[in-house]
């Protein structure tokens, strides 16, 4: 998840202003220029996303001792068939690198919330599997997470605008999903598979 501090948000705006100078924003073709007024929508989106995610993360840490990335990983697994996902799929869902999601799963496995299992279509790879304890952990934190979404996001948007936002952002996501990933959809084989059961929390 993107998490920008207030200082970083200011630097982002300053950086966009800097590359928008006449000397640097030369028209080199039909591509987007840094001083295009449409970029205001992009800046508003990226900053709001960062700040909302930061606040959701803080709430989860204070109230439940878990990060937003950990919550997101458990949520992704809970909504997947048989409550299991390949590491690459999980990394995409929580916006982490493969090494980052490996460390995340290591922590969740150590607490008994996730177990590793062989990938059914590739014995060399592994998948993360949500345990019953992990599902209970997710359910216990969900009220705080949903409250935060309502408070920091939904309450700030007029009801009449929600459908437009959903349609617009949905179109962005759908196009990227149609293009697919250059990594393909094979099981990961760079993450060791552990067959020993995770210790209980």
Structural domains of the chain ordered from first start: 6-19+38-179 (1.10.10.10)
Nearest alpha carbon to residue 55 among 3, 119, 7: 3
Task: Indicate the pLDDT class of residue 189, thresholds 50, 70 and 90.
Answer: very low
As to burial, measured by CB atoms within 10 angstroms (0-12 exposed, 13-18 middle, 19+ buried), residue 69 is buried
- In this prediction, residues 79-107 reach a mean pLDDT of 86
Token pair belonging to 61: 């840490």
- Picking from 35, 38, 50, 70, the residue whose alpha carbon sits closest to that of residue 141 is 70
pLDDT at 3: 47
| Mean pLDDT, the chain, whole residue set | 80
CB-neighbour burial class of residue 152 (10 A; exposed 0-12, middle 13-18, buried 19+): middle
pLDDT of residue 100: 86
Distance CA 30, CA 198 (A): 54
Is residue 32 very low, low, confident or very high in pLDDT (cuts 50, 70, 90)?
confident
* pLDDT 10s digits, 170-183: 999 999 888 876 65
Residue 180: what pLDDT?
Answer: 75
Helix (H, G, I), strand (E, B) or coil at 28: coil
Pull the structure tokens for residue 195. Answer: 């067959």
State mean pLDDT over 76-86.
Answer: 93
pLDDT, position 193 = 36
């Amino acid at each position: 998840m993107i998490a920008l501090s207030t200082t970083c948000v200011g630097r982002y705006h300053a950086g966009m202003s800097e590359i928008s100078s006449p000397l640097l924003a030369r028209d080199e073709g039909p591509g987007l220029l840094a001083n295009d007024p449409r970029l205001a929508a992009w800046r508003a989106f990226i900053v709001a996303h960062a700040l909302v995610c930061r606040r959701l993360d803080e709430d989860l840490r204070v109230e439940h001792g878990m990060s937003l990335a950990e919550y997101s990983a458990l949520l992704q697994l809970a909504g997947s068939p048989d409550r299991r996902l390949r590491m690459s799929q999980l990394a995409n869902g929580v916006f982490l690198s493969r090494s980052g999601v490996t460390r995340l799963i290591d922590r969740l496995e150590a607490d008994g919330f996730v177990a590793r299992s062989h990938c059914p279509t590739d014995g060399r790879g592994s998948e993360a599997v949500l345990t019953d304890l992990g599902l209970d952990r997710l359910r216990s934190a969900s009220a705080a997470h949903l409250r935060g979404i309502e408070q920091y996001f939904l309450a700030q948007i007029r009801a009449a605008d929600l459908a437009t936002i959903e349609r617009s952002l949905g179109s962005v996501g759908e196009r990227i999903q149609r293009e697919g990933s250059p990594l393909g959809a094979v099981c990961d084989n760079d993450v060791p598979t552990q067959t020993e059961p995770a210790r209980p929390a």
